[in-house]
Amino acid sequence: MDTAPQLGTSAELPADYRARLADLHVLPAWTLLRAVMPVGAAVQKAVAFHWPYARLREELLRAGDLVPVEKAERRVLALINPGLNPDSLATLPSIFFGLQLIRPGERAPNHKHIPAAVRVILEGSGAYTTVEGEKLAMEPGDLILTPPNHWHDHGHEGRTPMIWMDVLDHPLAVPLDISYVTPGKLATFGENTLDAGDTAYRCAGVAPYRPLGHKPPDYPLRRYRWSRVREALAALAEANDPTTPVHLRYINPETGDTAIRTLDFSARELRPGESVAIRRSSANRMFLTLEGEGVIAINGAEHACAHGDAVAVPTYASVTLTNAAARAPWRLLQVDDTPTQTKLGFYEEPAV
Ligand code: GTQ
Ligand code: FE2
Q: Are 65 and 256 in contact (CB under 8 A)?
A: no
Using a 6 Å CB cutoff, which residues line ligand 1? 74, 76, 98, 100, 113, 117, 152, 166, 168
d(CA 319, CA 296): 7
109 C-alpha to center of ligand 2: Å? 9
- Ligand 1: residue whose CA is nearest its atom 6: 74
Ligand 1 pocket: which of 73, 76, 119, 130 to mutate (most atoms within 8 A of CB): 76
- Taking only the tens of pLDDT, the chain with its 352 residues reads 557 888 999 999 999 999 999 999 999 999 999 999 999 999 999 999 999 999 999 999 999 999 999 999 999 999 999 999 999 999 999 999 999 999 999 999 999 999 999 999 999 999 999 999 899 999 999 999 999 999 999 999 999 999 999 999 999 999 999 999 999 976 566 655 778 888 889 999 999 999 999 999 999 999 999 999 999 999 999 998 999 999 999 999 999 999 999 999 999 999 999 999 999 999 999 999 999 999 999 999 999 999 999 999 999 999 999 999 999 999 999 999 999 999 999 999 998 6
| Helix/strand number for the chain, H first, E second | 8, 21
Query: H or E element: which one contains 35?
Result: helix 33-36
Backbone angles phi, psi at 63, to 5 degrees: -60, -30
- Ligand 1: residue whose CA is nearest its atom 9: 166
Residue type at 224 in one-letter notation: Y
Contacts of 319 (CB under 8 A, 6+ apart): 277, 278, 285, 296, 297, 298, 313
Q: What atom of ligand 1 comes closest to residue 119's alpha carbon?
A: 1
pLDDT tens-place string over residues 280-300: 999 999 999 999 999 999 999
Domains present along the chain, CATH in parentheses: 49-344 (2.60.120.10)
74 C-alpha to center of ligand 1: Å? 6
d(CA 80, CA 244): 34
